[in-house]
């Protein structure tokens, strides 16, 4: 019971982050008759998309959704006073995993050298590279080891979200909602705005 209380956030994020994998597995066909091979399932795309387009869409969409969720944790704390650092780390891991899946699908389908043919691909690739050290240091042991440098390293997430937004904007996807959410989050983080919001929250708590 104590374990569940301490780790319920991690468990919830893990479940939510894992569920879309069921969608991806339905789009793939695994052949074990002649060794091991994976192929795209025909007609599994739906919504007028090919299977490959849907794989790109689902993996990329969930990568940027989790990335946006991570960056809204601090504004959420400012607005409501609720925070859980280790749940945020779990969200960061979910972001990295989905970004890696998205990139692996791209390389598998198009080849690694295709990464450098367009600006949006390069932006996405750099974002993935940034996420690698963040992924491997999203744990308590790294926090103790790196101390103050840990926060500096994790702040690279801002560069990753910027590059990711550039990536999806050029691809003309529905990126604007994520840009608005992240933008509002940064406004809430401004010291003067933050102080006013927290002061209002304290006054309301005092009246309750």
pLDDT in tens, 22-66: 878 877 777 777 767 777 777 666 666 778 878 888 888 889 888
Range of the domain at 103: 2-207
**For residues 61 and 136, what is the distance between their CA atoms, to the nearest angstrom?**
22
**Average pLDDT, stretch 105-111?**
86
CB distance 58 to 178 below 8 Å:
no
Alpha helices in 44-139 (DSSP H): 51-71, 73-80, 85-110, 119-136
- Closest of 48, 136, 40 to residue 97, by C-alpha: 136
Decide: helix, strand or coil at residue 156: coil
The reply to whether the predicted model has a pTM over 0.75 is: yes
More confident residue, 9 or 152: 152
pLDDT at 79: 84
Check pLDDT > 90 for residue 142.
Answer: no
Q: 3-state class of 196 per DSSP?
A: helix
Cβ of 159: how many Cβ atoms within 10 Å? 12
Q: Please give the Cα distance from 105 to 23 (Å, whole number).
A: 14
Residue 42's beta-bridge partner residues?
Answer: none
Instruction: Report helix, strand or coil for 171.
Output: coil
Count how many domains the chain has: 1
Is the pLDDT at 208 greater than 60? The verdict is no
At residue 85, the pLDDT reads 60
Structure confidence by residue, pLDDT tens digits, 158-194: 898 889 888 887 776 667 788 888 888 889 988 898 8
């Amino acid at each position: 019971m104590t374990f569940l209380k301490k780790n319920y956030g991690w468990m919830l994020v893990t479940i939510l982050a894992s569920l879309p994998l069921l969608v991806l597995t339905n789009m793939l066909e695994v052949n074990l008759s002649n060794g091991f091979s994976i192929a795209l399932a025909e007609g599994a795309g739906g919504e007028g998309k090919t299977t490959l387009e849907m794989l790109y869409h689902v993996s990329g969409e969930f990568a940027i959704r989790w990335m946006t969720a991570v960056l809204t944790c601090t504004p959420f704390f400012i607005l409501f006073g609720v925070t859980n650092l280790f749940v945020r780390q779990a969200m960061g891991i979910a972001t990295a995993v989905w970004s890696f899946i998205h990139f692996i699908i791209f390389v598998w389908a198009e080849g690694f050298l295709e990464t450098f043919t367009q600006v949006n691909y390069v932006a996405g690739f750099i974002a993935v590279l940034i996420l690698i050290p963040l992924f491997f240091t999203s744990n308590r042991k790294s926090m103790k080891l790196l101390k103050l440098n840990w926060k500096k390293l994790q702040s690279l997430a801002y560069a990753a979200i910027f590059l990711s937004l550039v990536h999806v904007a050029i691809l003309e996807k529905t990126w604007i909602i994520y840009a608005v959410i992240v933008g509002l989050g940064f406004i809430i983080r401004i010291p003067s705005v933050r102080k006013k919001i927290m002061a209002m929250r304290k006054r309301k708590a005092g009246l309750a």
